[in-house]
Amino acid sequence: MHGDLAATRAALSLAGAIGPDDAWTGGALVVVQTGDQLDRGDDEQAILDLFTKLSKEARDAGGGFYPLNGNHELMNADGDLRYVTAEGFVDFQDAPGLALDDPRLAGAPPQVRARLAAFLPGGPYAKVLARRPVILVVGDSVFVHGGVLPAHVAHGLERINADVSRWLSGQAKTRPALIAGDDSPVWTRAYSDAPDADDCATLGEALAAIPAKRMVVGHTVQAGGITSACDERVWLIDTGMAAYYGGSPQALEIKGDAVQILR
C-alpha cells in the first residue's frame, strides 16, 4: 500500500471488501494484507485508521480483515525513517496520544518528533501495529510479508508474533533478533526474487512443517503483476500498486484449492 489510499481502496473494492463509503461489504470474506502500509506515500495515517475500522466491521459481519506487519512497519518502530515522505512527517503531528516529552526523542529534529512518538514502541500507532501479526495461517495458506523459512517454523510462528507484539506495545525493551536481518520473515526474498530449485526445496520444507499448501508473500515488486513460483506453492502478490511504483491494484482470491488473480 505504501501510503497510497487510492490504490488501497481500489484493491479492496476489487476484492469485494468495501463499498464507495469505505464500509465493509465483504460479509464472511477474509482479507489478508501482507504489510508495507507505511513509507513512500502521504496517506499512511488514513490507511492505518481505515484498516483498524475494517478489522472491527469485518469481525462483526462474520468475516475477517487482517493487515500484517511488513518490514516498513517495523522499520518505523525501530526509528528508521529513511523512506518517510515530507508529508509523512506532517501527517502524524495531530495523532492522538503522542508523548512528545519521551526521552527517546531527545536530540531528534523537531520536524520528526511526532512521527517518532507515534511509532516508537509504546507509542499510539506502535500499539496499533502490536495488534497485528507478522505471520498468519488461514486455512491451508500462510501469509507473510517476506517469507517463512524452516528456522522460523522451528522457532514458533505464534512465538514470533507474540515477541513482536510485546516489543511494539512497549512491554519488551529490545527488538526481537529474529525479525532483523536478510533472513527474517519481513526481509527475506528467498521465495520472491527468482527462486531457484534450492529455494523451492526450502519452501517445501517450511510448508510441510507448518503445515500449509501455499505461501503468499509481498516485499518484492513483480513487474508483471501477481505471479507464482515453485509449482504454485508460493504466490508473489506485490504489484507495486502504490503511486511510488506505478503498478496496478490487484488481489489474489483463494477459494478452497482454486486460486485466481483479480485484476
Q: What is the pLDDT of residues 140-151, one digit of tens each?
A: 999 999 999 999
Copy the grid coordinates of residue 29: 470474506
pTM as predicted: 0.96
Q: Which of 2, 72, 152, 219 is catalytic?
A: 72
Rg (CA), the chain: 18
Q: Using one digit for the tens of pLDDT, what is the confidence trace for 66-91? A: 999 999 999 999 999 999 999 999 99
Q: At what angle do helices 44-60 and 5-14 cross, to 10 degrees?
A: 30
Q: How close are the terminal C-alpha atoms of the chain, in Å?
A: 16
**C-alpha to C-alpha distance for 128 and 234, rounded to whole angstroms:** 29
Neighbours of 185 (CB within 10 A): 30
**C-alpha to C-alpha distance for 165 and 231, rounded to whole angstroms:** 33
**C-alpha to C-alpha distance for 58 and 49, rounded to whole angstroms:** 14
Q: Is 181 exposed, middle or buried (0-12, 13-18, 19+ CB in 10 A)?
A: exposed
CA 183 to chain centre: 17
Picking from 226, 192, 244, 243, the residue whose alpha carbon sits closest to that of residue 10 is: 243
The DSSP 8-state label assigned to residue 24 in this structure reads: B
* Residue 177 confidence (pLDDT): 93
Share of the chain above pLDDT 70, in %: 100
* Residue 250 confidence (pLDDT): 97
- Read off the pLDDT of each residue in 94-110 and give the average, rounded to a whole number: 95
Q: Is residue 152 within 8 Å of 160, Cβ to Cβ?
A: yes
Q: Which residue has the cell 507464482?
A: 228
* Residue 3 confidence (pLDDT): 97
Split at pLDDT 50, 70, 90, the class of 101 is very high
* Residue 198 confidence (pLDDT): 98
* Residue 77 confidence (pLDDT): 97
**C-alpha to C-alpha distance for 205 and 228, rounded to whole angstroms:** 18
Average pLDDT of the residues of the chain: 97
Q: Is 175 exposed, middle or buried (0-12, 13-18, 19+ CB in 10 A)?
A: middle
Q: Using one digit for the tens of pLDDT, what is the confidence trace for 240-259? A: 999 999 999 999 999 999 99
Continuous H helices in the chain: 5-14, 44-60, 71-77, 86-91, 110-119, 124-130, 150-155, 157-169, 197-209
72 is catalytic: yes
Q: Using one digit for the tens of pLDDT, what is the confidence trace for 20-55? A: 999 999 999 999 999 999 999 999 999 999 999 999
**C-alpha to C-alpha distance for 176 and 232, rounded to whole angstroms:** 31
Q: Using one digit for the tens of pLDDT, what is the confidence trace for 195-216? A: 999 999 999 999 999 999 999 9
**C-alpha to C-alpha distance for 63 and 93, rounded to whole angstroms:** 33
* Residue 199 confidence (pLDDT): 98
Q: Which residue has the cell 527488538?
A: 175
